[in-house]
Amino acid sequence: MFYIISLIHTEKDDKFITLWRPNNAGYCYVKEMAGLYEVPQPGYHDSSTNMPIQKTKADGLFLYLPYDKPNNTWFMIPNCSQVWDGLAVKMTKHGLQRLPVKI
């Protein structure tokens, strides 16, 4: 199972990584609202603007954090350099971008 990260919709000033909702129906930050995809489609879920991440790997990145109201906490992935390093991405002025694969 995979979560899909929207590279292009995660901007530098966002506090959290942007995830796809279920059934390709928009975006969210919150794990409980994010979709799980059994087989990511190359060129759609896995492209220069989107990146699948295995559920087991993503589960290690989610933190229980406040969102939009002081007492409103959810599991979300922080948008920070430590997470970018773990995902092998970098932040650009156009959103996140995958780093070249090292052979």
pLDDT of residue 73: 85
Stretch 38-57: mean pLDDT: 96
pTM over cut 0.85:
yes
SS3 of the chain: the string is: CEEEEECCCCCCCCCECCEECHHHCCEECEHHHCCCECCCCECCCECCCEEEEEHHHHHCCCEEEEECEEEEEEEECECCHHHHHHHCEEEECCEEEECCCCC
Show me where the domains of the chain are located: 2-98
Mean pLDDT of 48-64: 96
